[in-house]
């Protein structure tokens, strides 16, 4: 999991979170931190929202703690998993069970009591959609869903396309994924055409339900991609469902009503580092190779990355006065930033 290793120094780990300009208490949301097969019985260090964590797997599933031994501040990710399934600190051998409670201090007699405060800070960890997700505090909502249950629907074919680490914020990546005015220029000849830059999107609609806050909108645009039912002259319908803070789904519906779905989940390591996870689903052309869809997505995301990693500031501004917005072309961005700002003010 080298792409998810933070560049933060040991001295930055403890205090960085207070200095980050994150919009809202994002610790109350689930964030993906690794593919499920990457989390093993070997402890591994990840960084989420500026906070270092250690993740590993025992016989009951995935476990996550703050990457800090309460005894002398050692990184628990440098330790090992014992035969009992405990995480052993590499410095003095203190052992923590899956709840975070210290259950053994080798320097003391076996029958000596262990202080109740001798425990690691445990984070909630879950598996969903082939990924491991963490929540650093009490979850406000469940892990964001696939809007129509496509991931488990046999009428849809879904595969994991790829993951990448970008040097920018999760907000910038998500906003780019949902932005339609850049397509004719950044993706000229691949998805759109600079000769056809205008579209008429629907109003961005915000809602809150048991799955959390979401924004939905759609528009039609000529698509150059034959894979998604365009081919240069046909207009396809794009429908977006965005779950805050950082998961977005894009439906591409051809005139034939064949549909494809791109689902993007983001891990905000810090304000300047994000890991992307992308799935692709389709309800047609099952005999077609997934490699074609993966290759097109890699090409498109590479074009996006070339631009998005240059945006300043890296962290998305929720103060609308900090960047210029146009009422129609930037309707989604305005709604997204307003909602992030509201989450911030609501705490």
CATH numbers and ranges of domains, the chain: 2-135 (2.102.10.10), 150-346 (3.90.380.10)
- pLDDT value, residue 229: 64
Residue 153 · residue 144 · CB < 8 Å: no
Give the per-residue pLDDT at 23. Answer: 43
pTM: 0.91
Give the pLDDT score at 190: 87
pLDDT of residue 153: 98
Residues of the chain below pLDDT 70: 1-24, 201, 229-233, 344-347
Cα-Cα-Cα-Cα dihedral sign, residues 182, 186, 190, 193: positive
**Angle CA 132–283–265, to nearest 5:** 25
Report d(CA 347, CA 335) in Å as an integer.
Answer: 18
Which is it for strands 61-66 and 51-58: parallel, antiparallel or unpaired? antiparallel
pLDDT for the residue 7:
37
The pLDDT value recorded for residue 233 is 65
Triad 139, 143, 146: Cα angle to 5°: 155
- What are the backbone angles phi and psi of residue 76, rounded to the nearest 5°? -65, -25
Residue tagged 């939905």 (tokens) = 216
pLDDT at 118: 97
């Amino acid at each position: 999991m080298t792409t998810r290793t933070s560049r933060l120094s040991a001295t930055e780990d403890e205090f960085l979170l207070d200095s980050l300009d994150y919009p809202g208490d994002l610790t109350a949301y689930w964030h993906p931190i690794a593919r499920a097969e990457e989390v093993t019985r070997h402890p591994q260090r990840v960084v989420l929202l500026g906070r270092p964590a250690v993740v590993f797997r025992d016989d009951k599933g995935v476990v996550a703690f703050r990457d800090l031994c309460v005894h002398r501040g050692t990184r628990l990710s440098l330790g090992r998993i014992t035969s009992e399934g405990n995480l052993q600190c590499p410095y003095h051998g203190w052992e923590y069970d899956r709840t975070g409670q210290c259950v053994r201090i080798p320097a003391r007699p076996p029958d000596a009591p262990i202080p109740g405060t001798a425990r690691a800070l445990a984070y909630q960890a879950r598996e969903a959609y082939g990924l491991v997700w963490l929540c650093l505090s009490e979850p406000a909502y469940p892990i964001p869903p696939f809007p129509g249950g496509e991931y488990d629907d046999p009428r849809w074919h879904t595969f994991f396309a790829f993951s990448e680490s970008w040097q920018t914020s999760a907000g910038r990546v998500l906003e780019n994924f949902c932005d339609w005015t850049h397509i004719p220029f950044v993706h000229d000849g691949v998805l759109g055409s600079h000769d056809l830059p205008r579209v008429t999107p629907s109003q961005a609609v915000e809602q809150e339900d048991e799955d959390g806050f979401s924004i939905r909108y759609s528009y039609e645009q000529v698509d150059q991609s034959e894979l998604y039912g365009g081919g240069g002259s046909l207009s396809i319908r794009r429908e977006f469902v965005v779950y805050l803070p950082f998961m977005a789904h894009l439906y591409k519906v051809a005139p034939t009503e064949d549909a494809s779905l791109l689902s993007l989940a983001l891990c905000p390591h810090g304000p300047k580092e994000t890991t992307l996870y992308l799935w692709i689903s389709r309800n047609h052309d099952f005999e077609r190779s997934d490699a074609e869809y993966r290759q097109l997505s890699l090409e498109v995301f590479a074009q996006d990355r070339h631009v998005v990693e240059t945006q300043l500031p890296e962290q998305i501004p929720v103060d609308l006065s900090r960047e210029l917005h146009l009422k129609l072309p930037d309707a989604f961005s305005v709604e997204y930033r307003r909602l992030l700002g509201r989450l911030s003010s609501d705490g």
